[in-house]
Structure 1
Amino acid sequence: MNSTEAGLAVRRTDSQTRRARRMLPSLWKETAVGYLFIAPSLLLFAAFLFYPLLKSVYLSFYLTDPRGRVAEFVGLDNFTALFRSEAFWNSLLVTLKFTALTVPTGLLASLLLAALTYGKLRGMRAFRFVFSLPVALSVSTASVIWMMLYHPTTGTLNYFLTKLGLTPVQWLTDPAWALVSISIMTVWMNSGFQYIVLLSGLQGIADDIFDSARIDGSGPFRTFFQIIVPLVSPTVFFLSVVSVMNAFQSFGQMNILTKGGPAGSTEVFVYSIYKEAFVNYQFGTGSALSLVLFAMIMLLTLLQFRFERKVHYH
């Protein structure tokens, strides 16, 4: 490089440096404006997420008196007492059973309904509207509806069972049926959201793919398992992660329908936290339970993401 080229390079570098210095205040201003816009969200997160999390960590190391006030520092004793408690392992087992009963069943049912109604046939909009209705109901409303359906004497389900010559079922008072009954209600309650998301995923698939499959002689079952399922696998993966989180955090239907009974058969993890903290006023143990639940959900989510490589992104 001669002296002329070296001089040009130096001047070019100086020019770029001066330009960067002139742009620096503008960049700082844009950054400040961006933080100003997200400040309300950060404040809400701090008030309703970060502070409760830090408070739970703090309380998990203490015992509380009957009024819920901090009484004594106990370190990790709350956690060791939990792992030695039969109630803890029972609530964990019930939660795992509930998750196994609701997540795969709900995803499969919603996927089948979406596959049957994603076409452009006449009258499909009515079916889509009906299958989407549960998304508009709150947990309390859905629980009251199913409480009437499950009523042992006047309930619709037992009425049809007696008409068929079968013995009525004690849906919510029999330990063998209580968790299954709540699982059925939960699958129905979550089906609206899952159906809408899966239907959107199906409608995003190009029609040319289905036309090619029909030309190749692919039947309905082959099309469903070899084309539809792989192409909507990203949507199914997303719903599986969300559904597992929701299953581990379920509370409202158990509180309204069974109060965790009979004999602890529906006492899921969140109901144990509620009972420990707001019935027994043991906020230390309740906080320890909530932190264990947080750790379990995080581990399950990470485990699910290990299988993401099997998802077919198209």
Structure 2
Amino acid sequence: MSKSIENIERKNNKRQKAIKNLLTALLYLSPALIIMGAFLFYPMIKTLYYSFFVTNSRGETIRYIGLEHYLYLFESQVFRTSMKATFLFALYTVPTTIILSLFLAIIANEKVKGIPFFRVVFSSTLGISVAAGATIWLLLFHPSLGVFNSLLNAIGISDIQWLTSPNWALISVSITTIWMNIGFNFIILLGGLQNISEELYESAKIDGAGYWNQLFNITIPMLSPTLFFVSVVTIINSFQSFGQIDILTGGGPNNSTNLIVYSIYREAFENGFFGSASAQAIVLFALVLVFTFIQFKVGEKKVHYQ
């Protein structure tokens, strides 16, 4: 009888201790939870709520319409064009950014005199704001004063309407975005390269492995966790690009650069249709979630953590 009472008391003590630990943890986490609740969870719930309503220009709900906003989106030619532009933009920017960043990181990881200077140069875009970077490229793409058309004219090629042609506008914005994102990816990949043990390369040299053999059998596999992280972050960033679109093209010409994020902005703050904009935001969230899930399901299997 006494043993059963002791067991009950022991269980009660464990339960009380667990509750006390939980309350202590919540107390320490409460500042972060309050901030996340105010700036993350509440806006997400509010966005989902708005997507089921028609709103006025002040964002006040007028009447409930259910899934009509979502049905209208998938019937809208403008939204389909926006979806196509978003996927093409991601296709143009993500692989190119990762490949160029990896190439620069491999070069900067070499033990060559003066390489710290080039590391600073390669990572310099990280310190440039989106507005400043887009303005620089706006000047470079200028039809009459820009450097690119001046170079083309010098070799006998006619001007290209970089930002005003539907065929070139998305490519021009993609080039700008690639340049902006290289700095961050370069630093992350360079850090990953410097964490690879030199003993692996020394062993490979003893076995007679050449440079390319070491690159594809040691460097890339050991760098796979960093590459996986960079690919996830770069894809998410490609779906969230806004500043360079607004400065360079304003979503034009003919909606060729009207990515989903910019379409949400125009629908909400220019047209005043907060319900439709909220529905687009939910669709964008679902797209990012699906792509991230696929990456973790497929890509993580090829990651070597040891």
> TM-score if structure 1 supplies the norm length?
0.91
**Aligned counterpart for 1:241 among listed residues 229, 232, 236:** 232
1:33 deviates by: 2.7
2:284 corresponds to 1:310: no
- State the AA in 1 paired with 2:232: V
27, 47, 52: which one pairs with 2:38? 47
Q: Counterpart in 2 of 1:163?
A: 154
1:154-180 alpha-carbon deviations (Å, 9 max, x no partner): 112222222233222221111111111
Alignment pair present for 1:64 and 2:52: no
1:206 and 2:197 are equivalent in the alignment: yes
SS, match of residue 71 in structure 1: strand
Secondary structure of the corresponding residue to residue 123 of structure 2: helix
Between the aligned residues of both structures, percent identity stands at 44
Aligned pair partner of 1:110 in 82, 101, 104? 101
Matches within 5 A, 1:33-182: 33-182=24-173
In 2: Cα distance, 1:192 partner to 1:14 partner: 65
- Hey, what's the Cα distance between the residues in 1 that align with 2:105 and 2:208? 22
Q: C-alpha separation between the residues in 1 aligned to 2:135 and 2:208?
A: 48
Q: What is the CA-CA distance between 1:26 and the residue it aligns to?
A: 5.2
C-alpha distance in 1 between matches for 2:184 and 2:191: 11
Alignment-mate amino acid for residue 149 of structure 1: L
* Aligned-partner SS, 2:185: helix
Q: Write the letter of the residue equivalent to 2:302.
A: K
Q: One-letter code of the match for 2:100?
A: A
Q: Quote the offset at 1:216 in angstroms.
A: 2.8
Question: CA shift at 1:27, angstroms?
Answer: 4.7
In structure 2, the partner of 1:226 is: 217
Shift of 1:21: 5.0
Letter in 2 for 1:312: H
The amino acid across from 1:238 in the alignment is F
How many residues align? The count is 305
Distance 2:153 2:61 in 1: 55
Deviations 1:248-291 (A, max 9, x none): 11111101110000111100011111111111101110011100
Aligned equivalents of 1:246, 1:184: Cα separation in 2: 15
CA RMSD of aligned residues (A): 1.9
1:100 alignment partner AA: L
Q: Deviations over 1:44-89 (max 9, x none)?
A: 1111111111111111111123444322211111111111001111
Question: What SS does the corresponding residue of 2:199 show, helix, strand or coil?
Answer: helix
Larger Rg: 1
Partner of 1:261, secondary structure, is coil
Q: CA offset at residue 312 of structure 1?
A: 1.7
- Aligned amino acid, residue 242 of structure 1: V
Q: Provide the rounded CA distance (Å) in 2 between the counterparts of 1:209 and 1:56.
A: 51
Partner letter of residue 102 of structure 2? L
3-state SS of paired residue (1:250):
coil
Q: Offset at 1:227? A: 1.9
Where do 5+ consecutive residues of structure 1 fail to align? 1-6
Aligned counterpart, 1:299: 290
